[in-house]
Amino acid sequence: MSKELAKTYDPKGLEDRLYQKWMDKGYFHAKVNPDKKPFTIVMPPPNVTGQLHMGHALDNTMQDIIARFKRMQGYETLWQPGTDHAAIATEVKVTNMLRDKGIDKEEIGRDEFLKYCWEWKEKYGDRIVEQLKKLGSSADWERERFTMDEGCSKAVEEVFVRLYEKGYIYKGSRIINWCPVCQTSLSDAEVEHEDQNGHFWHIHYPIVGEEGRFVEIATTRPETMLGDTAVAVNPTDERYQDLIGKMLKLPLTDREIPVVKDEYVDKEFGTGCVKITPAHDPNDFEVGKRHNLEEINILNDDGTMNERCGKYAGMDRYEARKAMIEDLKKEGLLVKTVEHVHAVGTHDRCHTTVEPMVKPQWFVKMDEMAKAAKDALNNGELNFVPERFDKTYLNWLDNIHDWCISRQLWWGHRIPAYYCDDCGEVVVKKDGAPDACENCGCTHFTQDPDTLDTWFSSALWPFSTLGWPDKTPELEYFYPTNVLITGYDIIFFWVIRMVFSGIEQTGQVPFDHVLMHGLVRDSEGRKMSKSLGNGIDPLEVIDKYGADALRMTLITGNAPGNDMRFYWERVEVNRNFANKVWNASRFIMMNLEKAELPDTIRNSELTSADKWILSKVNTLTREVTDNLEKFELGVAVQKVYDFIWEEFCDWYIEMVKPRLYSENDTSKAAALWTLKTVLCDALKLLHPYMPFITEEIYCTLNPGEESIMTSSWPKYKDEWNYRDDEEAVEIIKEAVRQIRTVRSEMNVPPSKKASVYVVSENEKIRDVFMNGKIFFTSLGGASEVLVRENRDGIADDALSAVIPNATIYIPFAELVDIEKEIERLRKEEQRLKKEIARSHGMLGNEKFLNRAPEAKVQEERDKLENYRQMMDQVKERLAQLS
């Protein structure tokens, strides 16, 4: 081997170099290959406005692990990447950028504004992709897509027209989420619910014709009462049976509204009477439909009160609230105000409180497609990992509403609906406006100004990225995909929409498995957010410790569907692990340089230690492969970590050192062959998790091979099932552990050697120790190892340790200089006496007990207990030595 590893592991020096090598060699690129079985993952497209955060880092690390694993298994693996146009997020950023330049979006118009959007995308759109590359993501960047590229846009238009012609897409007035600042409808995914301090205002609604009698309602939004069209009570509520069907005078208006009965009302909550505002509350909207109630919208798009609000018209919604409360007080209709904390929906971009409003929008009917999505799970075509998300998925589909897909934005896929300028005829079609109106012959059409919800295009992602609606070779070969990996926080908004869209458009479920992961929280368990200022930049971690250490930190201990906490200390631990792997590999390579290594080793040339480690890595291969197939990524990596650190580095390498250092040991070649063989397999098993360091070591160790990425995943070998040798070495390891414990308890320095006696009546056990004597020299500090059937001739003062079917003895006099040890223990005894007296004094002092914090007093009690235990141990040792 001419190439050598650097003396110290420096990820900064090698990660960028190795990633560029992989890119140049085209290792990430997948091709249609009839000779290989395909495996496909689609990357959840990050927003083109995005910047890498810990959620992205976790999500993409998990995808990369599976992709690298499957490539090494021999699959033609496509990890399909791309970015999302992020309609609202991008529009907000570009609008703010223009505002800073003194440019008004409305003044320059739609076309000019879109030019700025595309310029912004070209300038900043690749930022997150470059950041994902720093993480080591092995996505097929040659196939990178964008939700508004020509192919994806074609797919969006195709789906819209198909669903419209099938009667699944319609335009109508329904309750939607409305942002008064951005002035657009929002999806549920863009609404964050946060607890806010508010009030319950209790208001009297007079009963018409019954002077002095009222119905008491409680509301958190008194301004919406101007849109009330009924008050509802539960049909079984005996308190209000006589009111059902009567009319109420709506305060602050000249309108009368009925009392209706509806099971929606909870008798136990509040007063049992609920104001119904169909145009401004989703539950009230449904009640209104059941009772044919009028829908009265009382808000303008900017959140001010509209012309239907009388004296309050033109006021901001919160300004109107204050004025109405004052007027209710004056009329004697405000019963009381109660402080109340409640969840309020806010826009995740501008953090404005969202208003539910009835507005004309484009919707997708969900009944039939939701049924198909449920059937996919129930018949086993779709599988969630972990399975508990089945219930979440089905519950959301059971309660699904028609999907509002139109947005009042300019950046996005424009709705392919055209209105005849003369007769208003609506025409939905692909490839632009019709030449003439079939109804009146007019040749002038105006396209609907709205764009589509971002989720409409990303719902098509698994097949639109492969060329659909065209029957491309990629679509035929790579679709349906195999697994989707995503956070549980967007299961409703994206996963479900991909499922029903895939089934509806292709007749196939878009992926077999959905692997759900949790959130990355800070060390205190809090969600990372800008407001808390507790976010951690993955690029900062990579710059300090390397991508491999970050990846290991995100996956170690990670269980599907569960949140995890980020600790800097864990990153340091994983960086130390990388150093351990690096240094162990350098040691092996240095020894390989000094000897001729045969291509193969005969079984008879292997020692028990060699067979033990081969058997261990063989079992590890089987278990890790099984764990990865089940998406148990955290379980698998812990096994690899433990094997490399403990079994391979701390035990096997130490076991073989005497053989490597001996010029006369005939088993040196077997030791070197085993070291290299096991290291190669261990590196392969570690590669999906730590791709950079494994690549550098593997290619240095095997100069004839291009990359660990193109090597084969290890397979379980029946011929490496050395059960007897494994049991023998485990017995020796236990004996070494016991010897180390005895030496540690006696404070014996490592340089001090002593005889070790092994006594066993079991001949097989004695043979194990006879064959394993060499291990005790380096591992157990033994000057010699004597194996006996009984303890005849062993000094009575010898220290002992018991292991299964044997006892280990070490002559006391060989371990300890008795006079020096007695002198040391006498000094320790005097020190402990002083500490115990001091502690007793403090705990007997009333002033200390009364004035010191309880924690300080308890700390002193703990110290005293510790000193007493130490004194007992010292006295026991002195008694032994005497």
The per-residue pLDDT for 613 is: 96
Domain 568-717, CATH among 3.20.20.30, 1.10.600.10, 1.10.238.10, 1.10.730.10: 1.10.730.10
pLDDT tens-digit map of 154-179: 999 999 999 999 999 999 999 999 99
Q: Which residue has the tokens 């020299």?
A: 777
In whole angstroms, give the CA distance from residue 566 to residue 573. Answer: 13
Query: Residue 279: enclosing H or E segment and its boundaries?
Result: none
Per 3-state DSSP, the chain is made up of helix, strand and coil in percentages (nearest 5) of: 50, 20, 35
Q: Which residue has the tokens 């996956």?
A: 555
Q: Which residue has the tokens 């490539």?
A: 71
Cis peptide bond prior to 480, omega within 30° of 0: yes
Evaluate whether 741 touches 801 at the Cβ level (below 8 Å): yes
Evaluate whether 502 touches 471 at the Cβ level (below 8 Å): no
pLDDT tens-digit map of 791-838: 888 887 777 788 888 888 888 777 777 777 788 778 888 989 999 999
The per-residue pLDDT for 81 is: 97
CATH architecture label of 184-356: Alpha-Beta Complex (3.90)
The per-residue pLDDT for 1 is: 46
Q: Where are the domains of the chain?
A: 184-356, 568-717, 726-816, 819-881
User: Per the structure block, which two tokens stand in for 43?
Assistant: 């990357």
Evaluate whether 55 touches 520 at the Cβ level (below 8 Å): yes
Q: Quote the pTM value.
A: 0.86
Residue 70 annotated as lining a ligand binding site: no
In whole angstroms, give the CA distance from residue 398 to residue 391. Answer: 10
Evaluate whether 409 touches 88 at the Cβ level (below 8 Å): yes
In whole angstroms, give the CA distance from residue 527 to residue 829. Answer: 51
Q: Give which of 208, 203, 245, 244 is closest to 220, Cα–Cα.
A: 203
In whole angstroms, give the CA distance from residue 296 to residue 270. Answer: 24
217-245 burial, b if ≥16 CB within 10 A, otherwise e? bbbebbbbbbbbbbbbbbeebeebeebee
pLDDT tens-digit map of 552-586: 999 998 888 888 888 899 999 999 999 999 999 99
257 to 213, 222, 274, 278, 569: CA distances (angstroms): 15, 16, 12, 13, 64
Would the CA dihedral through 698, 700, 705, 710 be positive or negative? Answer: positive
Q: What is the CATH number of domain 726-816?
A: 3.30.2320
pLDDT tens-digit map of 623-651: 999 999 999 999 999 999 999 999 999 99
Evaluate whether 328 touches 252 at the Cβ level (below 8 Å): yes
- Does domain 819-881 correspond to CATH entry 2.40.128? no
Question: 199 — phi, psi (to 5°)?
Answer: -140, 155
Number of Cα atoms under 13 Å in the Cβ half of residue 474: 18
Who contacts 161 (Cβ-Cβ below 8 Å, separation ≥6)? Answer: 416, 428, 429, 430
Which positions of the chain have pLDDT values less than 50? 1
Q: Give which of 405, 529, 501 is closest to 42, Cα–Cα.
A: 501
83 three-class SS:
strand
The per-residue pLDDT for 49 is: 84
Topology agreement, domain 568-717 and domain 819-881: no
Evaluate whether 640 touches 620 at the Cβ level (below 8 Å): yes
